[in-house]
A and B are shown apart, each in its own frame.
Chain A
Amino acid sequence: MATDTERLTEAAVRVSGLVRRFGERPGRTVLDHLDLSIAPGEFVALLGRSGSGKSTLLRALAGLDYDVAGSGSIEVPGRVSVVFQDSRLLPWRRVLDNVLLGLDGREVVAGGRAALAEVGLAGRERAWPVELSGGEQQRAALARSLVREPELLLADEPFGALDALTRIRMHGLLRELCRRHGPAVLLVTHDVDEAIVLADRVLVLDAGRIAVDQPIHLPQPRSHRDPRFLEYRFQLLTALGVEEETAA
């Protein structure tokens, strides 16, 4: 397939033979010679049981794993942005100043305002983070990532703390923003539906490796009632070790 060869020659992320180990020697191997590549602009969701090493992989890509034993090679683009499970807005900076944290110049202010408007927070530039709802805080964090025009967006359960309704809204928003800005995305989630709704490709991490690599061939927007959706869902849940009688 043409797209596959392209994916191999030009990648936004290329990980090979990644090993990560925790604890005293010999330690517990969490990632065991893991290989992964993500194409530019590709949206990849990463599923896996709790403790399977999803966050470990993401932190390795973000360069946040100091003092962790391991080996392997990681190639990531220059501009990487991370969205955490909590918004990590600095409470002592107003929303716009949080979005612009570490950026200089007059132009970036306009960029920051535009990014806030994109996530639906126009007019809240001068609010303190404590004055925002959980969903709004997470949207501000998204704006903080977007304004940096990342080539790779790493997100570790960014919607995990949000209610179901807000989450669905955030899905639409994230999908739209990624279409417009075109970063490669690695989204860690424990929600199979979220993965299928959003991703071009869903990975399942198991025993330290990518056990399932499933492209999702469904047109956007995706419906939960689509029989193919249910098929993917059943398949992924099975890969995660969930026996589900209700899945037809």
Chain B
Amino acid sequence: MATVQMIAPPTLRRTPATAAPGRRRRLGLGRPIPYGRVLGPVVLLAAWSAASAAGLLDPRVLPAPWTVVGTVRRLIEAGTLQDSLLVSLRRAALGFAIGAVVGVALALVAGLSRLGEAVVDGWMQVQRAVPTLGLIPLMILWLGIGEAFKVVIIALVVAITLYIQTHAGLTSIDNRYVELAETIGLNRLRFIRAVVLPGALPGLFIGLRLAVTSSWISLVVLEQINATSGIGYLMFQAQNYAQTDVIVVGLIIYGLFGFLSDAALRLAERRVLSWRRTLSG
């Protein structure tokens, strides 16, 4: 007589079948928190207000938020804030625009032809090794201490950052797509338009976001060392008169600049690269 062996049925793990539409991938980052990005600043602001109200903060070290708001109003009434803002924005925008055009153009030249690569890539790599802010003294000697040298420095920083990312994007196209283009008989121009450039766009966007950040950093440095106008100059003067509140206003404006420009780029990236499905998407 054969003995019948009982095999225990495997234990089943229950997954909620009805929850499918709203379910998130397990290794994803989870549901995006609404207005998640402003959460951090709001918490910080609350802590700052509480500490000031409780008298924990010496106003000479860090003035209360309402003092800062008052300062903003005073500066706007005097016209100083608008003027400084415009000057700073103009520098940043001009430098960024020039740098972006030059950086992308050089990346295209170097990424799309061997001759261009030989001519451009070598010295861009050298340039990259030299911290651009280290060029400030030289640029002052060459261009004087006016607007031109500030714009040039920002443009250089932006151009190099963008060049590196875009060039990397252009030269790292998947070989499988090159083969496809060959078997389909694309000519060079079409290949560049249909395969190389779209393939380099993600790299370009990384470059843009890095470049925006570094252009703000350069702006801060430039305006605090050698300027007679702009947000940085305002802060520099405030330091002389120990006006902490004005310094805080300057910092907040710099922060807003950075935050808004990055947000704009993220939005553009989402639009342009809508074909991508990434973890954060």
Contact = CB atoms under 8 A, between A and B. Distances in A.
B140 interface: no
B176 interface: yes
B182 A63 contact: yes
Interface string B158-192: 00000000000000000011011111111000100
Interface residues of A, number: 20
A23 interface: no
A86 interface: yes
Contacts of B273: 92
B275 A62 contact: no
B258 interface: no
A72 B182 CA distance: 22
B182 A84 contact: no
A86 B183 contact: no
A102 B186 contact: yes
Given A84-B176, A128-B275, A130-B277, A90 B195 contact: yes
Tell me whether chain B's interface is mostly helix, strand or loop, or mixed. helix
Interface string A79-101: 01110101010111100000001
A88 B177 contact: yes
B276 to A, nearest CB: 7
A92 B198 contact: yes
Contacts, number: 51
A248 interface: no
B199 A92 contact: yes
Interface string A96-124: 00000110000000000000000000000
Interface residues of B, number: 21
A64 interface: yes
Nearest to A104: B190
B183 to A, nearest CB: 4
A64 B182 contact: yes
Contact of A93 (B179, B186, B190, B194): B194
Given A91-B275, A130-B275, A64 B179 contact: yes
A102 B190 contact: yes
Given A62-B183, A88-B180, A92-B201, A101 B194 contact: yes
Nearest to B195: A90
A62 B198 CA distance: 26
Contacts of A90: 177, 180, 194-195, 198
Contact of B185 (A64, A102, A130): A102
Interface of B: 176-177, 179-186, 190, 194-195, 198-199, 201, 273-277
Given A63-B182, A90-B198, 15 more contacts: A62-B183, A82-B183, A84-B176, A84-B179, A88-B176, A88-B179, A90-B180, A91-B275, A92-B273, A92-B275, A101-B186, A101-B194, A102-B181, A128-B275, A130-B277
Interface of A: 62-64, 80-82, 84, 86, 88, 90-93, 101-102, 128-130, 144, 148
